[in-house]
Amino acid sequence: YNDPFTTVCQPSREFLIIHSYMHYNDVVFYKHTDISVECGTSSISLAILICPVVYTGYNESLLILNHIFNKPECQGTLDESSNLPVVRFTFPINMTNACGSTFLTTSAAGTGIFADFSNIQTVNISGVVHSHDPTTGIVTYNAELKYYYSCAYPLEYLINNTQVEVYHVLMDRCYASISPQPANSTFFNLFVSCSKDQMTTMHENGDSHHARFSFPAFRFVEQQNQTMSTYYLHCITRLCEISTCNDFKQCNNRRRRDVRSTGVSEATTLSSVVPIVTRNENCKSANQ
């Protein structure tokens, strides 16, 4: 093998060779610094140090992403502009064109700013870059290289910023409040999880890319003597994988909530900018 990096790649012992009883050849597990992963807003980028690859007997063309050989956009390119030369892979966050990456959706109870959600779904995108041994004989003495990567994204982010189209919109809670900032305001729950007010009608929820409900006009009792009554609508929404949306709508799988407080976080609530206004025609103002 003609090593083009003789002046750049100096002998190194930073990698550890571990004998694997599952393979006839040795498997080399490199230190985590041999690969860097950038979980970008619309793509994932990998950078693998080329020198350990060269020392093992390979070059950049023999590093294969997720066993994909025939797509130029999934092949690595050599970058010698940095202090340590690397092989770079970049691919979009797109279930139909992520160079063979695996998309796995997991669920967990909402915490922190997501505390209002019964469950939060996270999508883990993972895969492996492995070496391709060009040996054509019966045996090989070349070690096998494997570089694993993994990125985790909130499901809501993927829907809003990428082309992942296998999820539905699910409203977790909708309520009305007198103030646009409901933390210190009187509020009324139109529905919470699978429990709803008797006057609220759910038309579509967790069944498509849209969610709809309706309710008749009402007034807050404390505004009954006012000619104009105003209130704001707030909905806590999230996304669910199509195959699991029905599970999230089951009452026995939902978390109990404290009805004494709104428990609202601005980061997870969509609020109406313009208030809903109702007029009491039978109410006379104090000046009349």
Extents of the domains making up the chain: 23-157, 167-279
Range picked from 61-65, 178-182, 203-207 for highest mean pLDDT: 61-65
CB atoms within 10 A of CB 232: 20
d(CA 80, CA 60): 12
**Each residue's pLDDT tens digit, 11-37:** 443 333 333 333 333 444 445 578 999
| Beta strands at 144-154 and 27-29: parallel, antiparallel or unpaired | parallel
At 226, the pLDDT band (50, 70, 90 cuts) reads confident
Query: Which pLDDT score, from 0 to 100, does residue 257 have?
Result: 38
Judged on CB neighbours under 10 Å (0-12, 13-18, 19+), 218 is middle
Q: Express each pLDDT in 136-157 by its tens digit.
A: 888 888 889 999 999 988 776 7
Question: In Å, how far from its chain's centre is CA 40?
Answer: 12
What pLDDT does residue 115 have?
60
Report pTM: 0.55
CATH architecture of 23-157: Sandwich (2.60)
What mean pLDDT value characterizes the chain?
75
Lowest-pLDDT choice from 28-37, 93-102, 116-125, 215-224: 28-37
Q: What is the pLDDT of residue 275?
A: 79
Cα(145)–Cα(211) distance, integer angstroms: 48
The pLDDT tens digits of the residues spanning 164-204 come to: 556 778 888 899 988 887 777 888 999 887 678 889 988 88
What's the pLDDT tens digit per position in 110-136?
Answer: 666 556 555 677 888 999 999 999 888
Question: What is d(CA 182, CA 203) in angstroms, rounded to the nearest whole number?
Answer: 25
Cα radius of gyration rounded to whole Å, the chain? 28
**Residue 44 contacts residue 149 (beta carbons within 8 Å):** yes
The burial of 44, by beta-carbon neighbours within 10 Å (0-12 exposed, 13-18 middle, 19 or more buried), is given as: buried
